[in-house]
Chain A
Amino acid sequence: MASLPLLTLATFLPLLGGLLLMAFAGRSTRAAHMISVATTGLVLMITLGIWERGTLPGAFAQVEEVTWIPSIDAAFRLGVDGLSLPLILLTAVLFFLAAIYSMRLSDRAPTFVVLLLMLETAALGTFAALDGLLFYVFFEVSLVSMYFMITGWGHEDRQRAGLMFFLYTLLGSLPLLLAILGLYIASGTFDMRAWIDAPPLAGLGAMLALAAMLFTFAVKIPSFPVHTWLPAAHVEAPTVGSVILAGVMLKFGTYGLIRFALQMTPEAFAKAGTLILIFGVLSAVYGALVALAQSDLKRMVAYTSVNHMGYVIMGVAVAGMTMDSNMRAVALDGATLQMVSHGLVTGALFFLVGMLYERAGTREMGDFGGLLGRLPWLGWAYILSAFASLGLPGLAHFPAEFQIFLATLNIQPWATLAIVAIAITAGLYLRSIASVFLGTPRDRWAAMADLDGQERLVIIALLVMIAAIGLAPGILLDVIHATTAAM
Chain B
Amino acid sequence: MDMAHNLSLLFPEMSLALAAFMMLVAEMLRSPRLALAIGLIGLGAATALTLQVLGADTSVFGGTYRVDFLSGWAKLVLLPGTALALLLVRSELAGRPREGSVYSLMVLVTLGALMLSGAGDMMLLVLGVVLTGLGSFALVAFPRDDAATEAAMKYLVFGSVTGAIMIYGLTFWFGGAGTTLTSALAGLDQSPLIAIAGLIAVIVGLGYKAAVFPFHFWAPDAYQGAPVSVAAYLSVITKLAAFFALAQTLRDLPQNSGWPLAIAALSALTMIFGYLAALVQNQMVRLIAYSSIAQSGYLLLGIVAVGSGALALPSLVVFAGAYIAMNLGAFAVIMIAGRELRDFAGLGRQAPLIGLAMLIYLLSLTGIPPLFGFIGKAYLFAAAMDAGYLWLAVVAIIGSVLALAAYLRIIAEMYKPIPADARTLPRPDAALFLVLAATLAATLFMGLFVSILPG
Contacts and interface: CB of A to CB of B under 8 A. Distances in A.
Contacts of B398: 171
Contacts of B405: 163, 167
A141 B368 contact: yes
B401 A141 contact: no
Interface stretch (B111-119, B127-135, B378-386, B430-438): B378-386
A72 B455 contact: yes
A163 B455 contact: no
A156 to B, nearest CB: 16
B370 interface: yes
B369 interface: yes
Chain A, interface SS category: helix
A167 B397 contact: no
Interface in A137-157: 137, 140-141, 143-144, 148, 151-152
Nearest to B382: A181
A174 B455 contact: no
Nearest to A148: B415
B378 A178 contact: no
A143 B368 contact: yes
B55 to A, nearest CB: 15
Contacts of A159: 412
B401 A170 contact: yes
A170 B366 CA distance: 10
Contacts of B401: 167, 170-171, 174
A133 B366 CA distance: 17
A441 interface: no
Contact of B394 (A70, A141, A178): A178
A171 B399 CA distance: 10
Given A68-B448, A69-B451, A174-B400, A163 B368 contact: no
B18 interface: no
A143 B408 CA distance: 13
B450 interface: yes
Interface in B439-455: 448, 450-451, 454-455
B451 A68 contact: yes
A144 B363 contact: yes
A67 B451 contact: yes
B418 to A, nearest CB: 13
A271 to B, nearest CB: 20
A345 to B, nearest CB: 31
B388 to A, nearest CB: 10
Given A69-B455, A178-B381, A178-B397, A208 B390 contact: yes
B87 interface: no
A121 to B, nearest CB: 11
A144 B450 CA distance: 22
A166 B382 contact: no
A140 B368 contact: yes
A124 interface: no
Contacts of A198: none
Given A68-B451, A175-B397, A181-B393, 17 more contacts: A67-B451, A70-B451, A137-B369, A137-B370, A137-B374, A140-B369, A141-B368, A144-B363, A159-B412, A163-B412, A167-B408, A170-B400, A171-B397, A174-B400, A175-B394, A181-B382, A208-B390
5 contacts: A67-B451, A68-B448, A71-B314, A72-B455, A178-B393
